[in-house]
């Protein structure tokens, strides 16, 4: 099959103002596989799943070679066979049982943020809740001081503005370098403190490992930076899109309030349709044929999760939320590099919706939500809501 070659600007020229469905249709219309500039795009469900299932051909580690000399993001910048050793240790620390142990604290945190604006009759979901809660959850997971939240938020904002784990290989800004160095120093100091006085948290548990399982400080810092780059703006975006959908659809909102068990499938459908991570990067290690097109060795490839998610096998309209459909999507990736923090993200989203509806069951959009389409994650810049007080 002849390779489809498109201008380098093709991907970014999508009709962003026309909504997510129109953007996905635009990205998909060029074919299952195409090249735009020096990047290759795989857009079909089958093509993306093939790449996810063959990490020996589509390397995640090589996708981050540009920054691995400074800090290796653990475990996303590691390929087999070393990758399995990290996941063996990390997966139980981020599994459902651990999330159950953290739920009381996480619920109290999101409730406190909502209580802060519940009596005001208005809020901006993004700045008042969606930015703060995921960062606070990471502090809780790592056992970092909660009073450091304001400083941590400032570093995170400076570091991930208009970027993400997918675009961090680009030339960093002066502000990003400054925040990276300050956050690096802060985390190194916290690691030193935890070596002396460990607690019941993820960093302490990793520091307690011995023998062949023991981690270096560099590995721990790589894990921390991965969570900052991949686990904050993404959850912020998902919270925003969940609340936007509920603000626009009062009938759906009423269903979730009446039957909270529907929150979980609702979250999965929003992640499928409006996941904050549209693409993930890979680099081919050999010539590989996908959908009849040969992608050469050493090619920089983007797996377009956004388009693949609208082709997942289902019986209903793939562009509509259907809570009766069996949950299935690639918003958390797939294969060996499936999102490490997926259980934490799901827990944050469920708790946010539960606690918001507990205090504020009726709400509506009070202005114009603004969507950011940067090089990395897709998220709302603002989501102003208004609601009755005393509800």
Count of the separate structural domains present in the chain: 1
- Asked if residue 168 has pLDDT above 50, the reply is no
Any idea what the CATH number is for the domain that residue 343 is in? 1.10.630.10
Contact 331, 305 (CB under 8 A): yes
Q: How far apart are CA 79 and CA 129, in angstroms?
A: 35
Q: What is the mean pLDDT of residues 34-45?
A: 95
In a domain, residue 345? The reply is yes
In a domain, residue 179? The reply is yes
In a domain, residue 322? The reply is yes
Q: Any long-range contacts for 322-326 (C-beta under 8 Å, 24+ apart)? A: 322/269, 323/255, 323/262, 323/265, 323/266, 323/269, 325/265, 325/269
Contact 43, 28 (CB under 8 A): yes
Higher pLDDT among residues 32 and 232, named by residue: 32
Domain that holds residue 177: 5-386
DSSP, collapsed to helix, strand or coil, labels residue 225 as helix
In a domain, residue 20? The reply is yes
- Asked if residue 70 has pLDDT above 80, the reply is no
pLDDT in tens, 305-326: 999 999 988 878 889 999 998 8
In a domain, residue 147? The reply is yes
In a domain, residue 90? The reply is yes
pLDDT value for 21: 92
**Tally: H helices and E strands in the chain:** 16, 13
Q: How far apart are CA 357 and CA 348, in angstroms?
A: 14
Strand segments, DSSP code E, in the chain are 5-6, 33-36, 39-42, 58-59, 122-124, 279-284, 288-290, 293-295, 300-304, 364-365, 370-372, 379-382, 384-386
In a domain, residue 203? The reply is yes
- Asked if residue 171 has pLDDT above 80, the reply is no
In a domain, residue 391? The reply is no
pLDDT value for 391: 46
Q: What's the pTM value of the predicted model, to 2 decimals?
A: 0.94
Q: What is the mean pLDDT of residues 196-209?
A: 95
């Amino acid at each position: 099959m002849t390779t489809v070659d498109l201008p380098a600007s093709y991907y970014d020229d999508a009709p962003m103002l026309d909504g997510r469905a129109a953007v996905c249709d635009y990205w998909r219309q060029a074919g299952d596989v195409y090249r735009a500039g020096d990047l290759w795009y795989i857009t079909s469900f089958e093509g993306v799943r093939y790449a996810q299932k063959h990490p020996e051909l589509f390397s995640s580690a090589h996708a981050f070679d540009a920054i691995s000399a400074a800090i290796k993001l653990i475990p996303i910048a590691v390929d087999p066979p070393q990758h399995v050793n990290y996941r063996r240790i990390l997966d139980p620390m981020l599994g459902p049982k651990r999330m159950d142990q953290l739920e009381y604290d996480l619920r109290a945190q999101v409730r406190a943020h909502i209580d802060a604006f519940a009596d005001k009759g208005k809020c901006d979901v993004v700045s008042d809740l969606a930015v703060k809660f995921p960062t606070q959850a990471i502090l809780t997971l790592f056992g970092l001081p909660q009073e450091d939240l304001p400083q941590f938020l400032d570093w995170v904002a400076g570091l991930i503005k208009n970027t993400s784990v997918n675009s961090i290989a680009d030339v960093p800004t002066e502000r990003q370098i400054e925040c990276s160095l300050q956050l690096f120093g802060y985390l190194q100091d916290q690691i030193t403190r935890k070596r002396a006085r460990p607690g019941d948290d993820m960093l302490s548990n990793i520091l307690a490992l011995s023998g062949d399982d023991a981690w270096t400080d560099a590995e721990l810092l790589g894990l921390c930076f991965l969570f900052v780059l991949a686990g904050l703006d993404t959850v912020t975006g998902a919270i925003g899109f969940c609340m936007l959908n509920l603000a626009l659809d009062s009938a759906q909102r009423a269903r979730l309030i009446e039957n909270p068990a529907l929150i979980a499938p609702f979250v999965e459908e929003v992640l499928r349709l409006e996941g904050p991570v549209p693409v993930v990067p890979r680099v081919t290690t050999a010539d590989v044929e996908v959908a009849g097109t040969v992608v050469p060795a050493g090619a920089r490839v983007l797996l377009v999760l956004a388009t693949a998610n609208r082709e997942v096998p289902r019986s209903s309209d793939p562009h509509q939320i259907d809570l009766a459909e069996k949950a299935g999507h690639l918003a958390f990736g797939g294969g060996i590099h499936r999102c490490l923090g997926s259980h934490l993200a799901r827990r944050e989203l469920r708790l946010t919706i539960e606690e918001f509806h507990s205090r504020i069951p009726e709400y509506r959009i009070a202005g114009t939500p603004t969507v950011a389409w940067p090089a990395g994650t897709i998220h709302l810049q603002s989501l102003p809501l208004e609601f009755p007080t005393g509800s």
